Structure 1
Amino acid sequence: MSGEQPLSRLEALRFSRRVVEQQAMRQLRVIDRWIAEEERREAERRQGEERRPPPPQWLIQYGLNRTNVDAVHTGGCWAAARSGRCRPVTRQQALEALRQRVPACIHCRPDTALGILD
């Protein structure tokens, strides 16, 4: 080893370039892997959205004991979402509940949406 010549400036620059190129390629592979993982997650998210059933149009809110009916809501009512005690129903079931004097939600007014006015 004592007989080796030190690297010339040009050889050192070429060596430095190769090292930087290898590091850059390694980092590009890492980034490409991250991109592929994100594309996979995005495709799964889109697929999940496409397969998700449509939200219900009408909801009935049950009381704390889950037997008595408290209110009728439209499907997108924020108050129904907050209660956590709602079940989806058909249009006919919502109409029937309103006819049986189940109160309509004062926020989403399903009675107006269904065309029932007192």
Structure 2
Amino acid sequence: MSDLPPDLPRLRTLETWLALSLDRVRQQIAAAEQQAAVDVHREPPPVPDWLVEYGIGIGRTPVRVHGGDCWDTRSRCHPADRDVARRALVNGVEACTHCRPDTVLGVLD
């Protein structure tokens, strides 16, 4: 027992609908492949020299300073230049214990 219609007109209608659907799927595949090719050739963004990690919640104050290539960063980190990183450390923001930006920036207790 088939789940397809038994008569020729409805089978032809179904065939037309499937052909149109297949064309749409193939167009979408082509667009996705084209986008993937563009993404492969796109340069990754440059690694920032410094990162400032911000806390959670209202006010989101700085909680830690990292070197740009530190492995212990979180999603709440934002790029910072040398002056911003030094100012944060001088103002009491904690330095990452792994990459030690306070040592590199010359801001030691």
State the shift of 1:53 in Å: 2.9
Q: TM-score when scaled to structure 2?
A: 0.60
Q: How many residues align?
A: 74
Structure 1 residue runs of 4 or more that deviate by more than 3 Å after TM superposition:
none
Identity %, equivalent residues: 46
Query: RMSD in angstroms over aligned alpha carbons?
Result: 2.0
Q: TM-score when scaled to structure 1?
A: 0.56
Partner in structure 1 of residue 50 of structure 2:
58
Partner in structure 1 of residue 100 of structure 2:
109
Query: In proportion to residue count, which structure has more helix?
Result: 1
Secondary structure at the residue paired with 2:46?
coil
Q: 2:65 aligns with which of 72, 83, 101?
A: 72
What 5-or-longer segments of structure 1 have no aligned partner? 1-36
Larger radius of gyration: 1
Secondary structure at the residue paired with 1:60?
strand
Q: Which amino acid aligns with 2:55?
A: G
What 5-or-longer segments of structure 2 have no aligned partner? 1-32
